[in-house]
Amino acid sequence: SYPLDVEAIREQFPILGRKVGGDPETPGEGPDDTVPLVYLDNAATSHTPESVVEAICDYYRGYNSNVHRGIHHLSQEASVAYEQAHDRVAEFIGADGREEIVFTKNTTESMNLVAYAWGLSELGPGDSVVLTEMEHHASLVTWQQIAKKTGAEVRYIRVDEDGYLDMDHARDLIDDSTEMVSVVHISNTLGTVNPVSELADVAHEVGAYVFVDGAQSVPTRPVDVEEIDADFFAFSGHKMCGPTGIGVLYGKEHLLDEMQPYLYGGSMIRSVTYDDSTWEDLPWKFEAGTPPIAQGVALHAAVDYLDDLGMDKVQAHEDHLVEYAYDRLTEFDDVTIYGPPGDDRGGLVSFNLDSVHAHDLSSILNDHGVAIRAGDHCTQPLHDKLGAAASARASFYIYNTREEVDALVDAVDEARQLFA
């Protein structure tokens, strides 16, 4: 049996009951979809339970209105709901309160916000930013480009052969020049769970800040930003049962307080003259213009949904499936799996078949309704290091089953035999 009641969960996700295989250009018109969907692309985006869809519909049907500025009834209702969404997210990740929770578009924007608002003014020649070789482009490209603008140096903590960070190397690299250590919590390619709290200690010893990319961790396990002692922390709503169009930036209040805004405009100001402006309180100082209101309300519902399941159980379910998938895939001696062993990783597995390009493999899997991702998963330098242009990645979530892992493995086996 599973740590979660998978059958009951699946009922809340009608999309999982659909078939695929028809012409995507004319859904519902051309040849019918015929094969049942096996959705194993959750690290890219997760599906949305009924309660979250309903939260979006309730908002548009019942109290759609702009926030902050209206004194009419609907605007007040929308404002309260939008503010409460910040409170709920704060509670979910162990932050002190809404002042520390900025709603952005996604993890990428959260990263850019800090890189621009903090990095542009704080970094300069002689400073270093320390990343890891397994950073997602959201972090790697952002800090790389901010470093170019400011003259700071970017350093990369080595990933060893088993997919773990070389912590001795980390201690060497993080020195008095270091102003920021930006590290992915769970690698979206290797599945490695990084020792972020230990890295935070190393960074704090030299007076550097730590930015944790929690895009893959917040959806899949209990996370407490204060326990980690992260200075900044980012994640996306769409990977945790929420809608697209909303991400979160957590920042320690005193740091967000000291930072200048990233985007300017309405809603983020307190007073404006033709000559100058002053800023709104946190977090609104960082939420210029009309924010993602429906998405915020829906993210609240997504957090409620996950919390009701229990994040411990969500993690146990992920562990269960990824261990099973890892074991089954290692049955094939022509499969290379990247990253740590099956019993020590997040709920995803990236691999390659000796004889088949990941894209062709993905296409064969698609014929069986099995949705995985093929490519570099926005970790191109890491793939270069692994000596693979691309890999196939299966990623699991609360509604996935062992039978779906079997469907994946059977389809992989068929591809092996086809190309042998």
Least CB distance to ligand PMP at residue 14 (A): 23
* Cβ neighbourhood burial of 408 (10 Å; 0-12, 13-18, 19+): buried
**Residue ranges binding ligand PMP (CB under 6 A):** 43, 106-108, 136, 138, 184, 188, 213, 215-216, 236, 247, 378
Collect all residues with Cβ–Cβ distance below 8 Å to 205 and sequence separation of at least 6: none
- 23 residue type, one letter: D
Least CB distance to ligand PMP at residue 216 (A): 5
Residue 23 vs residues 16, 119, 415: alpha-carbon distances, Å: 18, 46, 22
Closer by beta carbon to ligand PMP, 294 or else 407 = 294
* Cβ neighbourhood burial of 27 (10 Å; 0-12, 13-18, 19+): exposed
* Cβ neighbourhood burial of 31 (10 Å; 0-12, 13-18, 19+): exposed
Least CB distance to ligand PMP at residue 191 (A): 11
Closer by beta carbon to ligand PMP, 63 or else 338 = 338
Closer by beta carbon to ligand PMP, 63 or else 351 = 351
Least CB distance to ligand PMP at residue 54 (A): 23
- 311 residue type, one letter: M
Neighbours of 313 (CB within 10 A): 15
Task: Tokens for 129, please give them.
Answer: 């930013």
Distance CA 349, CA 361 (A): 15
Catalytic residues, which ones? Answer: 378
Q: Is the peptide bond preceding residue 283 cis, with omega within 30 degrees of 0?
A: yes
Collect all residues with Cβ–Cβ distance below 8 Å to 179 and sequence separation of at least 6: 122, 123, 127, 128, 129, 152, 208, 209
Task: Tokens for 33, please give them.
Answer: 């979809």
Closer by beta carbon to ligand PMP, 65 or else 194 = 194
Closer by beta carbon to ligand PMP, 134 or else 208 = 134
Closer by beta carbon to ligand PMP, 247 or else 347 = 247
Least CB distance to ligand PMP at residue 272 (A): 31
Nearest one of 86, 312, 326, 325 to 220, comparing CA atoms? 312
Q: How far is CA 133 from the centre of its chain?
A: 17
Q: How far is CA 110 from the centre of its chain?
A: 11
Closer by beta carbon to ligand PMP, 119 or else 191 = 191
Find out whether 347 and 397 touch, Cβ atoms under 8 Å. Answer: yes
